[in-house]
Structure 1
Amino acid sequence: MKRTLTFAGLFLALAAPVAFFVWDAMSPAAPADGKIHLRYWTITGMKDVIPYYAESFGKAQDRIVVETTPIPWQEHEKKILTAIVSGNPADVINQVTPVPKWASRMALQPLDAYIARDRFDTTVFFPSLWDEMRWHGHIYAIPVYSGSYGLFFNKRLFREAGLDPERPPETWDDVRAMNERLTRRDEQGRIVRMGFIPNYGNVQTFMLMAWQKGARFLDESGTRVNFADSAAQAALDWVEDFYKRYPVDDVAAFMGGLGFADQHGFIAGKVAMMVLDSSFPDQIKAYRPDLEYGVAMVPHFEGSPSASVAGSWWLAIPRGAKEPEAAWEFIKHATGKEAQLREVEMQEESMFPANRWAAADPRFMRNQEREVFVQMMDFAHSPSVVPMAHDVFWREMFGAQERVIHGLQTPVVALRQAERVVQSSLDEALAYDRYVQRELADKQ
């Protein structure tokens, strides 16, 4: 019997657990002022913050009224999907999860026609961010904000160890050598300070190393993964060698004493070097404003370029949006240079504009730290390495590193195991995507 595909069917797996949101997707009453009322759903955290660009767009013209609805992080994705199933989504959404995850489920409208018609300049965005917006040759979203990474180093600890506080490490060999001089143990032989820990922080060092070595985890067709190549192995070899010098139990005991806020390893002065993101200076300012530190380019292997990672917050028009033309005008405004710069100035937390002309402007580039973060964007890779198996990829790569660190597997065996699991997940996702495309073709 032939299976019938409906929009509700497409979203069943994602939206079924959240049917209790349907009541909130009811259409509002028609506006009496004769203007277009644009519904914008934005993710919020601890505070309900209305983006500056939502307010400034309303002031820049008088045809469109932006009705911004902040939605808690935990509810945002479910609410959007439920609204699309109900046939009454917002006109514009902002998200951070991989665009292909949404586009492959027909959740977003392609933007190619708008881009071509308005000669919208896509070169203003950092290339790594723009590449994330594409699925099956079409553009489904526009990047609005991102983050960048750099090597944070504690100048006081450098000085105490006899190192030049104005000369951070340039290569991973430098990191290894400096770590030897910065690490301290107490009388009982317990580690009380470390120069560097490759698996501590919110970015996996070995992934940066693998990219530097030229690793390509997904082939050009997007259908086959390849983890156990020489580049990825070389990265995990470095991590494995590190833990031969510093027993994993000793490092684990030390890391057990680290925490968050003022107990964070770098802020507390217990870890001298860390690869951290462009918002981390906010935490330093909040918990240790007197910390003497610097930010440098992420170290690299001799003869290889540096590498960073930069995901994107993006804006898109959901399928079924009632005001797509107004939504596109809003997106163009929000991603423009001036709107992005003003947003950065208005927000309490550090934000990194996706528009590279905004990032290069003196109003943003006002200190050495930001200069480094902007430079690192030239070496950025997307965290959506395998978009259709995004969560599984990162879970398995983290697991592979842990098995190597604990001596349970060699790098090549650990990577091959991760490869098998991720390939299986990718195959399932691609099979469903092919089913969707066939059903769509039958209905046209």
Structure 2
Amino acid sequence: MKNIVTGILIISAIVIVFRTQDDVKHDNKTHINYWFVAGKKDDIPYSALQFNKSQDSIYVECTPIPWNEHEKKLLTSILSESPPDVVMLVSTVPKWAARRALVNLDAALVDPDFDSTQFYETLWEEMHYDGSVYAVPCYTASYAFFYNKDIFKEAGLDPEKPPKTWEELKEYSKKITLKNKGKLSRIGYIPNYGNLETSFVMALELGAEFKNSAGKKVNLTDTKVIKAFNEELELFNGNSVEEVNAFMGSFGYGSQHGFISGKIGMMILDNTFIDQIKLYNPELNYGVAEIPAFEGTGTKSSTGSWWYAIPRGAKNKKAAWEFIKYCVRNDVQLEESLSMEQSLFPANVKTASSQEFLKEHFAMGIFDKQMQNTKSKVIFPLIHDVFWREFSMARERILYKKQTPYDALKQAEKTIQSNLDRAIEYDNYVQSKLPFENFK
């Protein structure tokens, strides 16, 4: 890693490139390069098209980059002093800011036309690194509790009364679960099926912090975290993990998804799953509610963010900032959200709570409410991937009863702490060798 920093310093010292303030082409417009991570489609983003139509001084040139190559391409462009002016990414902001790959936006935030309170608080917090802002959130995914109303009726449950507590969920799950010749044929709830970890949600609801106030000491053995894992184990309702996993082997994608196919009655899913239901089982009779909580605690969720940033060495910072401001405006986010084939959830609170957005689906109000009770999954920004790798491995050892929750979490805590210490040491080294680039 030190070689990367050394490389940046050598290039900065040797290569002197004289540039004009703005890259003005023959049409007298400032042309800015916008890189965005693309999926199967490489369509020009709606916001870029509309921005180009909305004014005549800046023109956005769009370049899609594949997810599996975006990190290499962007870092290479920065090292070669030919970065884009704007990027839209989805990985953790501190990971990029710590590498000095992004421009510090603190000076841009004094802009009277920009209001950071327009974003969900959790998403705005994710844009920070070491007390400064390096990106602006644009989209996210909001999680809520999905349940099959027809299965509820068949199990003798009120389809208009989803479980509000984890204890109620356990009882509902028992009534929904069916076995045929001793093997599961339907199940109420599976804690380890889906993208949002039940144990993590439970820990958040119980008030677990996972670290000390300075963010330098790992605390996975917090009693609240241990309680969350014990509570998750109880949600299997006496079925072994092996038995449940064997049943999950019959699940697939699309119409074979566990919830869409009616093999599982309740799940925590994100707002984009609505599109999957429309596509693969439009007749599915389902409801969406707040994620269950413990008695005396409020519901909690977790998510991450797509975000805009200005890479280090960008030629047209001011023009890039104008484009970013435009993209996260309430009216633009609303128009873009409604035009998407897959419904990403807007980071702008006004957009998500507007009548135009809410009427798109009966559950949007629930997703908005969950976003207001959301905590970030970014616990240790410098070692985000390490944390979640070790958390997941500890969870597996607990679920398979290889270790007690305390022993599994203690083992994970030790590994995470070791990695965190090294990451902090390296970050201090980088800070001593390479300053941040500020917006100006």
Q: Give SS of 2:59's match.
A: strand
Match of 1:157 in 2: 151
Q: 2:222 aligns with which of 205, 229, 235?
A: 229
TM normalised by structure 1 equals 0.92
8 Å CA contact 2:81, 2:313 repeated in 1: yes
Q: How many residues align?
A: 425
Q: 1:429 aligns with which of 406, 418, 423?
A: 423
Q: Give SS of 1:185's match.
A: strand
Residue identity matched to 1:304: T
1:85 aligns with 2:79: yes
- Please list every run of at least 4 consecutive aligned residues from structure 1 whose deviation after the TM superposition is greater than 4 angstroms: 2-5
> For each residue in 1:284-329, what CA deviation from the matched residue of structure 2 results, as whole angstroms up to 9, or x when unmatched?
0110000000000000000011110121000000010010000000
8 Å CA contact 1:10, 1:105 repeated in 2: no
Match of 2:411 in 1: 417
Match of 1:39 in 2: 33
How far apart, CA to CA, are the structure 2 residues paired with 1:113 and 1:30? 24
Q: Give SS of 2:31's match.
A: strand
Give % identity: 47
1:166 aligns with 2:157: no
How far apart, CA to CA, are the structure 2 residues paired with 1:361 and 1:7? 48
1:8 aligns with 2:8: yes
8 Å CA contact 2:82, 2:314 repeated in 1: yes
Q: 1:349 aligns with which of 342, 348, 362?
A: 342
Deviation at 1:240, TM superposition (A): 2.4
8 Å CA contact 2:100, 2:436 repeated in 1: no
Match of 2:18 in 1: none
Match of 1:298 in 2: 291
8 Å CA contact 1:267, 1:287 repeated in 2: yes
Greater Cα shift, 236-245 or 310-319: 236-245
Match of 1:133 in 2: 127
Q: 1:184 aligns with which of 169, 178, 188?
A: 178
How far apart, CA to CA, are the structure 2 residues paired with 1:250 and 1:331? 50
Residue identity matched to 2:48: A
Q: 2:96 aligns with which of 88, 94, 102?
A: 102
TM normalised by structure 2 equals 0.93
Residue identity matched to 2:46: Y
1:331 aligns with 2:324: yes
What stretches of structure 1 of length at least 5 have no aligned partner?
12-28
Residue identity matched to 2:109: I
After superposition, the Cα gap between the structure-2 partners of 1:45 and 1:5, relative to the gap in structure 1 and judged at 3 Å, is closer
RMSD: 2.0
> For each residue in 1:395-432, what CA deviation from the matched residue of structure 2 results, as whole angstroms up to 9, or x when unmatched?
11111111111110111111111111111111121111
8 Å CA contact 2:190, 2:236 repeated in 1: no
After superposition, the Cα gap between the structure-2 partners of 1:442 and 1:103, relative to the gap in structure 1 and judged at 3 Å, is closer
Match of 1:268 in 2: 261
Match of 2:371 in 1: 377
Q: 1:56 aligns with which of 44, 50, 56?
A: 50
> For each residue in 1:343-378, what CA deviation from the matched residue of structure 2 results, as whole angstroms up to 9, or x when unmatched?
111111112110000111111111321010000011
Residue identity matched to 2:314: A
8 Å CA contact 1:149, 1:276 repeated in 2: yes
How far apart, CA to CA, are the structure 1 residues paired with 2:128 and 2:4? 28
How far apart, CA to CA, are the structure 2 residues paired with 1:117 and 1:295? 39
